Amino acid sequence: MSWLTEPLQYGFMQRAMLEVLIIGALCGLVGSFVVLRGLAFIGDALAHAVFPGVVLSYLAGQSILVGAFGFGTLTALGIGLLARSRRVSEDTAIGVIFAAFFALGVVILSRQGGFRRDLGSLLFGNILGVSMTDVFVTAVIAAAVALIVAALLKEFTLASFDPVMARTLGYPVFALDLLLLLLVAATIVVSLQTVGNILVLALVVTPPATARLLTDRLLRMMGLSMLTAVAAGVAGLYLSYHLGTAAGATIVLTATVLFLLALVFAPNHGLVAGWVHRRRGHHHAHHYHPAGEEEAAADAASR
């Protein structure tokens, strides 16, 4: 019990635990659509493109959320608008924007003193340094994102699985795609303090990918994704405390371990289940007697 209770005696661990609970639920929810829509590359672009906003806020002594939200919104709108051009593919637009913005952030930071120390904290997060104000802001943003997803769940689902049908039925697919990008941007921005700029994509993608191995139903996938992300966050935070490792990276590695376990042992889609299924198929083929079929065919022909 002391292994569980000792870390919670400290205020910074209590705040960090609240933060991972909120962030885990948010990443699991929004990440489900990222995985279903194949938006991992866009998520990575958003995570890198907000970097100059993070740097500017940091240097100004403001919350990193302020600048990150600004650049996140610019990136989401830029990707959405550029991708509408027939001469610029979506992945090209993403590559151009995120490379330029990330480079801009590095250039701004490199002009300052203490470059390496600052870069480390911005790239890899500092969840143990979050304040109650940070936790409150995260909770408000997470609640707003969750309400939007709940209100437009049917529309997001249809646009994800069958955009052609959605257009035929009159749904504004482009607007829905843009809104989803903005929600992904908001999720990534509020997760930056937890796992940092480099690792944030893992928290958005790995838990939903784990859940997708465990179920074929969207709502169940979303629930399992949120549960997996929260479990990885809490377990990773405990492990980082007792092992003396970086909290954000430990959380990501914990999520990865859960993914690998699901990949191997998932009831229907795991490697073990696939191996058992193939073995059964081989067993049935081994006991298959074509002579029986020939006799039945001959009997049918004689009749």
Tokens of 106: 């590095």
Confidence of residue 210 (pLDDT cuts 50, 70, 90): very high
Give the model's pLDDT for residue 211.
94
> For position 148, what pLDDT does the model report?
96
Q: For 273-282, what is the mean pLDDT? A: 72
> Angle, nearest 10°, between helix axes 247-265 and 173-214?
70
**CA atoms of 33 and 107, how far apart (whole Å):** 33
DSSP string, 42-57: HHHHHHHHTHHHHHHH
CA dihedral sign, ordered 131, 137, 139, 141: negative
Rounded Cα distance between 106 and 289, Å, is 69
Which of 15-19, 192-196, 299-303 is predicted least confidently?
Answer: 299-303
Higher pLDDT pick, 37 / 284: 37
The whole-number pLDDT of residue 111 equals 79
Angle, alpha carbons 90-197-9 (nearest 5°): 145
Split at pLDDT 50, 70, 90, the class of 37 is confident
Confidence at 97, pLDDT banded by 50, 70, 90: confident
Identity of the residue numbered 20: V
Residue 197 sits at φ, ψ, to 5 deg, of: -65, -35
Q: What is the model's pLDDT at position 113?
A: 63
pLDDT band, residue 102 (cuts 50/70/90): confident
* Residue 235, pLDDT score: 95
Q: Give buried/exposed letters for 103-139 (b at 16+ CB in 10 A, else e).
A: ebbeeebeeeeeeeebbeebbbbbbbebeeebbebbb
Which residue has tokens 């003396």?
A: 244
pLDDT of residue 128: 83
Q: Please, what are the domains in the chain?
A: 2-289 (1.10.3470.10)
Residue 299: pLDDT band with limits 50, 70, 90: low
- CA 26 to the chain's CA centroid: 9
Residue 259 is encoded by which pair of tokens?
């993914």
Say which amino acid occupies 186: A
pLDDT band at 96 (very low <50, low <70, confident <90, very high): confident
* 46: its two tokens: 């958003």
Chain-centroid distance, C-alpha 64? 20
User: Using the 8-state DSSP alphabet, how is residue 114 labeled?
Assistant: S
Lowest mean pLDDT among 3-7, 155-159, 175-179: 3-7
Contact 134, 19 (CB under 8 A): yes
pLDDT at res. 119: 61
Distance CA 253, CA 247 (A): 10
Q: What is the pLDDT averaged over residues 204-229? A: 93
The mean pLDDT value for 132-146 works out to 92
Q: Is 6 helix (H, G, I), strand (E, B) or coil?
A: coil
Query: How confident is the model over 42-76, as pLDDT tens digits?
Result: 788 888 888 888 888 878 877 778 888 888 888 88
- Write down the pTM of the prediction: 0.80
Of 189, 222, 172, 155, the closest CA to residue 71 belongs to 189
For position 297, what pLDDT does the model report?
45
Question: Looking at the predicted structure, is the pLDDT value of residue 283 above 70?
Answer: no
